[in-house]
Structure 1
Amino acid sequence: MSLIQENWSLLLLFFTVALLYSSVGFGGGSSYLAIMALYGLEFKFLRATALLCNLTVVSNGSFQYYRKGFLDFKKALPLVALSVPLAYLGGKTPLSENTFFILLGFTLLIAAVLVWFQPYLINKVNFKNINSDNVILNLVIGAFIGYISGVVGIGGGIFLSPILYIINWDKPQKISAMASFFILVNSISGLVGQFQTPGFSMDWGFAFALMVAVAVGGQIGTHLGTVKFNQSMIRKATAVLIAYVSYTLLTKYL
């Protein structure tokens, strides 16, 4: 019996996560990883499967955001210039199963806090002295998140988006577009690094079925994210979801 036949409810869960995350420019890699972990699937192909699902969601999302004029490649370049090679190095970083899930749990906890308090930070912090076009700042942000995303296998958009809001980088839909594009290029880079890791293995039939589910969910979510839609509620729901995942992982592996 195939993995999908044994775990058919994964299709519905991945569809739902893709719809939710793509509406705010995320790929959903963090929750894909957590869901597969909670289902007890083999650690060796979790990161690659999550990144492939990320790619499926954000490739369409990035195209839709670009088509609607929200994606500015010139402004995006400093954020991805260092993130791509560092995501590759992160993907090649060897991790034990226990270390990986502890790291994932803590990174999700940080992400949940950032996503939940993002609207409050926007309203309370004085952004007048921060230059959103500062090339050095953008390079540092991209490099740090790129490496973390490569190691964990989550794309990095869930960290990038709140930080861009904090520094008043641009309008909400342009930040969602940037997060989607950031996930796209870093997921590709992280995957290449993982493919070159000794002992890498993959269940391609299992991955393809999940990619179909997230493709449908991502298409719907991206449409909702590019029209008038209550992104604040989606962000809070996303924060609650990843906080729960973080708690579950940390209590299991610590």
Structure 2
Amino acid sequence: MIWLASLFALVAFVYASVGFGGGSTYTALLALWGVDYRLIPVIALVCNIIVVTGGSIRFARAGLVSWRQVLPLLLVSAPLAFAGGLVPLKQVVFLTILGCTLLASAIALFLQADKMTPRTVPKPFLLALSGGVGLLAGLSGIGGGIFMAPVLHLIRWAEPRRIAAFASLYILINSAAGLLGQILKSGAQSLAEPALQYGLLLGAVLVGGQLGSLFGMRYLSPRLLRVLTAILVGYAALRLLWQAHGPF
């Protein structure tokens, strides 16, 4: 458990430094570690909430969140994240959804541009994108920001700092909605005792996330972190797909 907690702290540090929660990698690590797949979304979503709460508050205080722009997207994604959390899934289906989500996230991270000029994006497209990612987030037990943010970069929705601010808030809201769905699906009592066994992981991401948020990008370039994250996420995705279906 110490090794797993150390990995969680490292993931939280790296992801918090770029405004993410790390849910996609937490779920991959838990699945590869052999944790009961029914507990994985709950643990990962709680870790997400711990990591991104501070960042979301700081972004909002810095005036980087345009509530008029982001509220419609959150109002679409949150109910679908909640609904996704309610859906019972077999292990092979869960691992497949998670693996495909992570693989798509890795590709999007590789394609993300370093510099861009914001442009106008049709609102119906943004709402559909937000809702689809929200549903996927609820099903797979992630906040969705690691996929949403690279897509927003690709379509040049806003400047990078505002996208990071939105991604942090998006992860927080969707993680809370998805967690509620997961708890209602399985029952709080059936999840509480097993989940407490992994309480050390929550402390690890609290420390790692705070350090990552404070250090930010002071010492490591955003591009290097993004590429390393994409490689790790892509590797985890392939491992999960292999675990679910065997060799292709």
> What is the TM-score normalised by the length of structure 2?
0.91
Q: Name the residue aligned to 2:106.
A: 112
Query: Which residue of 197, 201, 205 corresponds with 1:210?
Result: 201
Q: Name the residue aligned to 2:230.
A: 239
Q: Name the residue aligned to 1:103.
A: 97
Query: Which residue of 153, 167, 181 corresponds with 1:193?
Result: 181
Give 3-state SS (helix, strand or coil) of 2:214's partner: helix
1:39 and 2:39 aligned: no
Amino acid at match of 2:159: K
Q: 1:228 to 1:40 in 2, by over 3 A?
A: closer
Amino acid at match of 1:161: A
Alpha-carbon distance in 1 for matches of 2:127, 2:242: 35
Alpha-carbon distance in 2 for matches of 1:228, 1:167: 28
Query: Which residue of 26, 38, 46 corresponds with 2:20?
Result: 26
Amino acid at match of 2:40: L
Q: Name the residue aligned to 2:120.
A: 131
Q: 1:17 to 1:219 in 2, by over 3 A?
A: same
Q: Name the residue aligned to 2:138.
A: 150
Q: 1:84 to 1:32 in 2, by over 3 A?
A: same
Q: Name the residue aligned to 1:220.
A: 211
Alpha-carbon distance in 2 for matches of 1:253, 1:140: 29
Alpha-carbon distance in 2 for matches of 1:204, 1:94: 18
Deviations 1:152-187 (CA, angstroms, capped at 9, x unpaired): 011000111011111212121211111010000000
Give 3-state SS (helix, strand or coil) of 1:232's partner: helix
Give 3-state SS (helix, strand or coil) of 1:244's partner: helix
Q: Which runs of 5+ in 1 are unaligned?
A: 1-6
Give 3-state SS (helix, strand or coil) of 2:165's partner: helix
CA contact (8 A) 1:64 1:222 kept: no
Alpha-carbon distance in 2 for matches of 1:110, 1:213: 27
- Percent pairwise identity: 38
Amino acid at match of 1:231: P
> What is the TM-score normalised by the length of structure 1?
0.89
The RMSD of aligned alpha carbons is: 1.9
Amino acid at match of 2:175: S
Residue 90 of structure 1: CA displacement? 0.3
Residue 198 of structure 1: CA displacement? 3.9
Q: Which runs of 5+ in 2 are unaligned?
A: none
Give 3-state SS (helix, strand or coil) of 2:197's partner: helix
